[in-house]
Structures are given as structure tokens and as C-alpha cells.
Amino acid sequence: MKRTREEYLQMLAYEAFIRRVASAELPLLLKGSFITRQYFRDPELRSPADLDWVYIHPVQDQHQMESVLSELMIKATEAIVYDGVEFQSFSQNRFWRMIDYAMSEDFPTVNTDLSCTINNTETFIHNMDISLNLDIPVSPIPMTYVPLKGEPFLIPYTVPLALQVSWKLHQTLVRPRFKDIFDLTEILQHPGFTPDVWQQTMEALVAECMKGWDDIKLLRHLLTRNAGPLFTSFGMEQEWNQWRHGQRTNGKDAHWQGYAASITTVNDLPEEVEDFLVPFYDALATAGFTEENCEKYIGTVTIQPPIKKWYHIFTRR
């Protein structure tokens, strides 16, 4: 995927920060698109978005949260790494958005901005999220990360493939996004998605659905190649036309979909949504997501959901 100079520098900044967190072995687990794209057959097929972390130890209150996270950010931004990137110390601009009410949530998320200089050009990392007290039912794994520039390096804590798949499948059941389907089509084909990982994925998906009062039986729509009924807001065709073709209908915007141009080369995507879904359905089946295999997980689970509220629908993943 082609990048502007600004996008290229921003990518270097993101990966420089990841490199510093990794080199200092800070207790932050990397999740989100920076990890997902590493499981693509060609990471350049997927442009990442924001940086997403999870602090792997529990916190009890707002004071502890602010103190611990600020200390980690100072260590990372002041780490000495010879990669041509110099970060402004977090101690010079110490702030967290949403920290005043974050602890009222089940798994609070706060975010901040960072500044660095690359080749005498100031570059920013905006809205970097850190989640806390998030249940990680499958143990984090180390990963050898291949950056855009420089040598590969080891990240001690990353979200395992099973959780990436289960989170994206769950999102697809409750409010499908084409970017998740795009990602799933790729990462389900990764050699690391073994039968054991498949089982971990299903167990995590069942638990996630039960926690959110979401009906896992909706998975049958994907297993039978019929995703259309899952698009309950604007309809699959309209949401596809926005994401793939940049079209809005009557000024309406399915904001959760975003636009394909922000994550990949649009001209490489099919024109029609059904042609886009065929490789996804094929990847699901090849990875083991068949009616026969999944029935023992979804056929015995009965959920009586309450009235849906916004926090059951929107996710931060």
C-alpha cells in the first residue's frame, strides 16, 4: 500500500514506540492492527491505524492508574534506542484523556498523545489507547515483529491469534465491520491457526458472547455463507457501498464501518460485496469453522439477552 511522506513518518514513529516498549520489556500487551497485520501473508496489504495496548497487571483506582501508566510512558519515551527517532519525554506533557471516569467501566481505557522527531521533522502519535483490567483468557505470546524499517525485534507481550480471531468474530456477530472480515480472511489462513488455536478461539468466543449477552447462534449465518442478516443498521449493500466505494446514502454514515481506503488499496478489492465474502467464507471453512465442528459449542448455549444498550454493541477492539 502506497504511503504519503507523512504516513511513512507516522508509521516509523508508531513502530519506534513499539520498539521502545519492547526493549524495556514494559508490561504492556500490544493488540490491534499493528499485530494483526503481522499475521498477513504480506503485511503491506494492511495499513494499521492507532496503537492499542493492554496493561497486563490489575489496577485498583484512578491514582494508581495515572501513576503506573505515566511511569511506563516516561520509561518508554526516554529509552535510548538508536533508530533515528527521538521522543519528547512524557514527563514534559503528562496527560491522560478519560482518566477521570475510566475506572467506572469494567475495563477502563485511557489514551494520550506522544511527540517525536524523525529527520528533523516533528511527528505525532495521536490517541494511543491503553486498556486496563481487561480479561485475557488466553496467555499473551511473544512475537518477532518485522518493522517497516530496521531489523526485526521481539515484543514480549502480544495478543494471541486465538483472541484476535474470537474478538473479530464477536464484533462481526454484534455489529459487522468489513475491516474485520478483511482481517479475518487473512489471519485465518496463517499457519499458526492450528486445531488447538481453533478450540481456544471457540471457547473465547462463547465466553465473550455470554459476558455481553450476545447470541452466539448468530455464528450460523457465517457458517452457512449468509452474513447479510447480521447487518441490521443500514443493510449489507449500503454499508459495503460506503466502505468499498466511499458512497453515502441520503447523507447517512455508518461511522463504525469507516472506509477501505484507510486500511488497504481499494482497487485490489472486489467491486461486489458477495465476491468479497466468498474468500472469507472459504477461509472460515478451511480453518475449521463448519456447522459440524461448531455445533457442540453453540447448540448447547442458551442466552436470554436483556434489552441491548450501547455498551453491549460498541467495542474498543
pLDDT in tens, 219-229: 999 999 999 99
Q: What is the pLDDT of residue 165?
A: 99
CA angle 112, 53, 74 (to 5 degrees): 50
**pLDDT band per the 50, 70, 90 thresholds, residue 15:** very high
CA–CA dist 162, 156 (Å, integer) = 17
**Where are the strands (E) in the chain, listed by range?**
28-31, 52-55, 85-87, 109-118, 121-131, 141-145, 153-158
Q: What is the pLDDT of residue 316?
A: 41
312 touches 212 (CB < 8 A): yes
Mean pLDDT of 207-211: 90
Q: Is the pLDDT score of 251 beyond 90?
A: no
Q: What is the pLDDT of residue 248?
A: 79
Sequence ranges of the domains in the chain: 5-159, 162-313
Q: What is the pLDDT of residue 72?
A: 98
